[in-house]
Amino acid sequence: MSGQSHSSIGSIIDDVEEAAEEHGEVSVGQIVESIGHRAFGPLIAVPAILVVSPLGAIPVLPTVLALVVAIFAIQVAIGKDYLWLPTTLSNRSVKGSRVRQAVDRIRPTTRKLDRWFNQRLKMLCGSIGTRIAAACCLLLCLTVPPLELIPLAAALPMAAIALFGIAIALRDGLLMLLAYALMAATLFLLVKTTN
């Protein structure tokens, strides 16, 4: 399971669910291990998808998961080969039953993503494109704490991050373009709410 290369978002979600089923509580570190340290796109996408799911309503969780994404995004942006996570974040956990419930909710969406998006405009998802996307994810992570003050608003930047991660995982440039559009909408919302 760990370190596998994933050919679909559904297989990534299956691995997360399997990790949740094996433990009463599942830590961020266990989720990362279930996905595999070299799967940069999924490691950026999965925490973001969890925030867009019902788990995103848990206070402070969006900010914690944005911090996880930021740590991964920095490493991807500077071209690291292996992703590292601090122990304090790695040990953070949530009930396995809540993770399974979130996975059940998002599974129909992941099936559609796997069907619709796959290897279009691949030149946008190469090494440089991935590093630019990771830098954009880092910027989006910075918007999460202030937007978390507005109910469910943190889901918008995390949805953009999820799209970036899925685009990297599936090597789909069209999805990457959608992620850039959603990032622009997030930045517009942030400007509107701070004025």
Question: Residue 4: what pLDDT?
Answer: 39
Supply the Cα-derived Rg of the chain in whole angstroms. Answer: 15
- Taking phi first (over 0 means left), then psi (-120 to 50 degrees means alpha), and beta for anything else, what does residue 36 get? left
- Phi, psi of 172, rounded to the nearest 5 degrees: -115, 105
104-109's contacts with Cβ under 8 Å and 24+ in sequence apart are 105/53, 105/54, 106/13, 106/49, 106/52, 106/53, 107/10, 107/13
CA distance 115 to 103: 18
Question: Residue 36: what pLDDT?
Answer: 63
The angle that helices 9-22 and 28-35 make with each other, rounded to 10 degrees, is 140
The H helix count followed by the E strand count for the chain is 9, 2
What is the H or E stretch that residue 95 is in?
A: strand 93-95
Question: Residue 139: what pLDDT?
Answer: 92
8 CB-side CA count, 13 A: 13
Angle in degrees, CA 69, 138, 153, rounded to 5: 80
pLDDT by residue for the chain (195 residues), tens digit each? 333 344 567 777 777 777 777 777 877 777 777 766 556 787 788 788 888 877 777 778 888 888 888 988 898 888 876 677 778 777 877 787 888 888 888 788 777 777 776 667 766 777 788 889 999 999 999 998 888 888 777 888 989 999 898 888 888 888 889 999 999 988 888 888 776
152: CB partners within 8 A, 6+ apart? 56, 57
Three-state helix/strand/coil letters over 114-143: HHHCCCCCHHHHCHHHHHHHHHHHHHHHHH
Task: Give the closest residue to 184 by CA, choosing from 162, 166, 160.
Answer: 160
188 CB-side CA count, 13 A: 6
